[in-house]
Amino acid sequence: MTFRTEDLFPAHFLKCFNYALHHTYTEYTLYGGRGSCKSSFISLMLLIILAQNENVSAVCIRKHENTCRDSVYAQIRWAIDKLELNDVWKCNVSPLQMTNKLTGQKIFFRGCDDPVKLKSLKVEKGYVGFLWFEESVEFNAADMRSVKQTVMRGGDKFWVFDSFNPPVSRRSWKNADLLQVKSNRYIHKSTFLDVPRSWLSDSFIYEAKHLSKTNERMFRNEYLAEPTGSGANVFENIETRKITDEEIADFQWTY
């Protein structure tokens, strides 16, 4: 498999690519806003890691299994086509999984509705060494910990990718987790501003600019991946001041 990284993902991901390729870290937390290409990058990374480690299989995990086909499964299908591996990977929808026809490696797609069910994951060759938690903000810390404890067994190298858009609330456990220092984890932030302009549609750019003008706080959260609220206020745009006599005179209704 030959490719040029600049044709596959934005240069902003190159450091993460090299770290994963050389197994510098075990865990890779990728967070970002809309259009940041983080899911596209992870799907490509998964296939590249499996191509270089023929005893490693993978599992892609969403909170609910019924969301896998239209998200992580479709994303991996895109990556297979991008890397011109359609003749290598057999893709099934029942059960929802992919098989490397040359090596027997598997890519499983599972939900975390019941983490215990993941214990049934079996591969004929090697072990499940690549995990991808997509939209991990939907999980809780205990679920993710349980999945890792269940799946990460019997191998010598593991890659755990975790991708999400930061919640608005700074108090969210995912935002708080970003502040925790872990020697085996690399954290990467990306936004649409890191992506070549030609990779984004005119309508995407229009919507981003429109939101930045009409709701700057929401724009910063959805597109710039910033937590912009405390999570405690019902209304975030309240101004505390005295109401003037002129404003009272303009009130349409009084009680």
Identity (one letter) of the amino acid at 186?
A: Y
Return the minimum-mean-pLDDT range out of 67-76, 124-133, 144-153, 232-241. Answer: 232-241
Checking if the pLDDT of 180 tops 70, the result is yes
pLDDT digits (tens, 9 = 90+) for 19-42: 999 999 999 999 999 999 999 999
The C-alpha atoms of residue 47 and residue 83 are separated, in whole angstroms, by: 9
Single out the residue of 150, 90, 102 nearest to residue 122, CA to CA: 150
This prediction's pTM: 0.87
Give 157-216 as a DSSP string: --EEEEEEPPPSBTTSHHHHHTTS--TTEEEEEE-GGGS-GGGS-HHHHHHHHHHHHH-H
**pLDDT reported for residue 200:** 95
What secondary structure letter does DSSP report for 244? P
More confident residue, 63 or 235: 63
Residue 135: active-site member: yes
pLDDT digits (tens, 9 = 90+) for 182-222: 999 999 999 999 999 999 999 999 999 999 999 999 999 99
Catalytic residue (one of 84, 135, 222, 247): 135
CB-count exposure of residue 140 (10 Å: 0-12, 13-18, 19+): middle
